[in-house]
Amino acid sequence: MEQLLPYNIHLKSNSRTLRKTMTKPEIYLWSKLRMNQINNCRFYRQKIIGNYIVDFFCPKYNLVIEVDGGQHYSDTMLEADKQREAALNNLGMKVLRFTNTDVLTNLNEVVAGIAENMDGRS
């Protein structure tokens, strides 16, 4: 049974909007995550966890997957992502980050990396 995660109800509208307006890399990765394609596990997209909306989440493994565009590499965003990751880690989550370029040019390797990080976690 999946554990009930804390979430900010005020982010529901944003989460729905993000699901409707996924980026090209997110769409590509979602095509490999949806319908239990990796280790027969369910993934959610644009899932609210605490005060954050994560790109993808697998509850069985408490695994968060983030697909980062260029905006994530400014000093401000690097610090925000560090704080976000620490907060998610404190909830027992493991966070994997991939760049847009990784997803668009090495999708099979990204999927293999996700599956690898699921092994031994549960």
Q: Please count the structural domains in the chain.
A: 1
**Residue 5 within a domain:** no
Query: DSSP string of 16-50?
Result: HHHHHT--HHHHHHHHHHGGGTTTT---EEEEEEB
- Beta-strand ranges (E) seen in the chain are 44-49, 52-58, 63-68, 94-99
Q: Which domain holds residue 85?
A: 23-116
**Rounded to whole angstroms, how far apart are CA atoms 43 and 121?**
15
Q: What predicted TM-score, i.e. pTM, was given to this entire model?
A: 0.89
Predicted confidence at residue 12, as pLDDT, reads: 94
The answer to the question of residue 48 being in a domain is yes
pLDDT tens for 5-61 read 888 999 999 999 999 999 999 999 999 999 999 999 999 999 999 999 999 999 999
Q: How far apart are CA 87 and CA 109, in angstroms?
A: 27
DSSP state, residue 3: P
Residue 96, CB-side half-sphere exposure with 13 Å CA sphere: 20
Q: Rounded to an integer, what distance in angstroms lies between the CA atom of residue 41 and that of residue 94?
A: 16
Query: Does some domain include residue 11?
Result: no
Q: Is residue 53 part of a domain?
A: yes
CATH number of 29's domain: 3.40.960.10
